[in-house]
Amino acid sequence: MSIKAEEISALIKQQLANYQDEISVEETGTVTYVGDGIARAHGLENALAGELLEFDSGVYGMVQNLESNDVGIVVLGDFTKITEGDTVKRTGRIMEVPVGDAMIGRVVNSLGQPVDGKGEIKTDKTRPIERKAPGVMERKSVFQPLQTGMKAIDSLVPIGRGQRELIIGDRKTGKTTVGIDTIINQKGQDMICIYVAIGQKESTVRSQVETLRKYGAMDYTIVVTAGPSEPAPLLYIAPYAGAAMGEEFMFNGKHVLIIYDDLSKQADAYRELSLILRRPPGREAYPGDIFYTHSRLLERAAKLSDDLGGGSMTAMPIVETKAGDISAYIPTNVISITDGQIFLDSDSFYSGVRPAIDAGTSVSRVGGDAQIKAMKKVAGTLRLDLASYHELESFAQFGSDLDAVTQAKLNRGARTVEVLKQPLHSPLPVEKQVLILYALTHGYLDDIKLDDIAKFESDLFDFFDASHADLLETIAKTGDLPDNDKMEAAVAEFAKTFQPADDDKSEPVANK
């Protein structure tokens, strides 16, 4: 490589021309206390709440408390190098993170710095992490569907683009899996996904990233991670940083899905730093503004009006409950903020119903408007079917003779539960979901043995892919069911030829 001296000096000259010789004026304070991720400083009389400060060691901090004699600062980084008596400077800026297309496919920390070892992120755009959510006139009602690829969700609790849908459940009930599967299903859906891992084990995050990469989902995903070994302030700001990254795309007319995994850990981190900052504790020792912490975050999810480009940001916060108690403080708060919740039940998870969605307590308050017509038609009675099944199920255990209507209900219910089961990381396109639910609600599954339903489903899909791809395409394109006779005929044709698994051939088909 030849060095061209003239070019280089021309470049330097240009930069030097822009350099202005002026006296730097900085306001400073003196650190009087440091520990557990927070610091207090005297001075800094003009500091603003939320302002970024710089310590001697180069670490940044954010002003959290403005008190009569001193300022409470959360330290965003290594606080062990800060000592009493250090000076701390005002920067006049507020906390910002880098945003833009260059972030896609990367794993970053709460400050937007890469942690995946793939080098620097080349973007010159930044956004403040705290921003007021879009107002009334900047919004529009949710009307486009967000397909999660999970039959149980898309049929029972449909989600719209711009909605906030909570995923809630005990530990180990597949909450993260619902999120990850939803991201995987966004392939080719013109969506940008942001997965914010708050206080998740680094090893877990690593394996989630690998899963996403394996299914090609990292091409449109940003992972923001704040591990459990990071100081509490970084866990606290992680979701805001993720939201800022998402807003950049939303305001450019794109569609964004953001998953906060999980907000209970963020609440714990905020509780920790609030207590150390000596804010008065409230219920469950959370500070008084814990509700506002979550409401202002989730309010930033929006469907923008056409004037603003019609972009959207769908938020799927995750909250962990203890022993199924959804009336604890944080779960009730977040339930009341969001537009619905998907409740995952540990009992059904362990009995093999996965995803373990509890149809009774899961709701979606706005997603119904976003559901495609075909799905509305086939899934209309599903919730009722399931409810009456669960009601009769316990009653039927007494083993008394049942009339034919009850038998039929039980029969249909068991098949509905079976159809809504779905393996890990295998999202289904919406037209296939409609197809299998069509077969279910039109009674084609009533004579199939429970064990054969999975086979029936996959064979049905193969059959349609091979001989009736046009029908599937019609559903996908128009969003409505194709001509009823054609659909009926095609499903009936398949049902006639369906062969149950080999070892069951000798047994009767309907095993009740």
Partner 1 sequence: MSLDKVTVAKRYSKALFELLQSNGQLDADYEDLKQLRKVFQDNPQLGSALTDNSLALAKREALVKPLLDSTEGTIHNLVRMVYDYGRMDAMVEIIDQFQKLYDEHNQTVYADVTTAVALDDKQLDAIKSGYAKRVGAKQVVLTSKVDTSIIGGVIIKSAGTIFDGSIKTKIRRLRQTLLV
Residues acting as catalytic residues: 365
As measured in angstroms, the least distance from the Cβ of 108 to partner 1 is: 20
As measured in angstroms, the least distance from the Cβ of 19 to partner 1 is: 5
End-to-end CA distance of the chain: 80
Contact 280, 287 (CB under 8 A): yes
Establish whether 170 is an annotated binding residue.
yes
Q: How far apart are CA 357 and CA 386, in angstroms?
A: 12
* Per-residue H/E/C for 401-426: CCCHHHHHHHHHHHHHHHHHCCCCCC
Q: How far apart are CA 427 and CA 384, in angstroms?
A: 24
Establish whether 204 is an annotated binding residue.
no
Q: Per-residue string for binding with partner 1, 231-270, x by CB under 8 A?
A: ----------------------------------------
282 binds partner 1 (CB under 8 A): no
Beta bridge partners of residue 94, listed in sequence order: 51
44 binds partner 1 (CB under 8 A): yes
Q: Which two tokens mark 306? A: 């056409």
Contact 190, 75 (CB under 8 A): no
Q: Which is nearer to partner 1, 188 or 280 (CB)?
A: 280
Contact 239, 294 (CB under 8 A): no
**Applying CB under 8 A, which part among 40-48, 210-218, 232-240, 485-493 lies near partner 1?**
40-48
**Applying CB under 8 A, which part among 14-22, 163-171, 240-248, 284-292 lies near partner 1?**
14-22
Which amino acid is present at 344? L
As measured in angstroms, the least distance from the Cβ of 82 to partner 1 is: 18
Q: Which is nearer to partner 1, 19 or 398 (CB)?
A: 19
SS3 487: helix
Q: Which two tokens mark 333? A: 């708060």
69 binds partner 1 (CB under 8 A): yes
Cis-peptide into 262, omega within 30 deg: yes
Establish whether 50 is an annotated binding residue.
no
**Applying CB under 8 A, which part among 15-23, 110-118, 294-302, 386-394 lies near partner 1?**
15-23
**Chain position carrying tokens 């996904």:** 193
**Applying CB under 8 A, which part among 37-45, 52-60, 181-189, 428-436 lies near partner 1?**
37-45
Beta bridge partners of residue 96, listed in sequence order: 128
136 binds partner 1 (CB under 8 A): no
Establish whether 169 is an annotated binding residue.
yes
**Applying CB under 8 A, which part among 19-27, 128-136, 414-422, 502-510 lies near partner 1?**
19-27
As measured in angstroms, the least distance from the Cβ of 24 to partner 1 is: 5
Q: How far apart are CA 139 and CA 162, in angstroms?
A: 10
Work out whether the CA dihedral 411, 412, 416, 419 comes out positive or negative.
positive
8 binds partner 1 (CB under 8 A): no
Contact 88, 41 (CB under 8 A): yes
27 binds partner 1 (CB under 8 A): yes
Between the CA of residue 377 and those of 249, 354, 372, 373, what are the distances in Å? 34, 24, 9, 6
24 binds partner 1 (CB under 8 A): yes
- How many of the other CB atoms lie within 10 Å of CB of 136? 6
Establish whether 173 is an annotated binding residue.
yes
Contact 340, 327 (CB under 8 A): no
Question: Where do runs of H (alpha helix) occur along 261-353?
Answer: 263-276, 290-298, 329-337, 346-350
45 binds partner 1 (CB under 8 A): yes
Alpha carbon 104 to its chain centroid, in Å, reads 16
Among 2, 15, 229, 400, binds partner 1 (CB under 8 A): 15
68 binds partner 1 (CB under 8 A): yes
**Binding-residue total with partner 1 (CB under 8 A):** 19
Q: Which is nearer to partner 1, 3 or 25 (CB)?
A: 25
398 binds partner 1 (CB under 8 A): no
Q: How far apart are CA 183 and CA 355, in angstroms?
A: 15
Q: Which is nearer to partner 1, 89 or 131 (CB)?
A: 89
26 binds partner 1 (CB under 8 A): yes
Binders of partner 1 among residues 87 to 126 (CB under 8 A) are: 89
43 binds partner 1 (CB under 8 A): yes
Establish whether 176 is an annotated binding residue.
yes
For binding to partner 1 (CB under 8 A), which residues are involved? 12, 15-16, 18-19, 21, 23-29, 43-45, 68-69, 89
Binding residues: 169-176
Binding-site members for ATP are 169-176
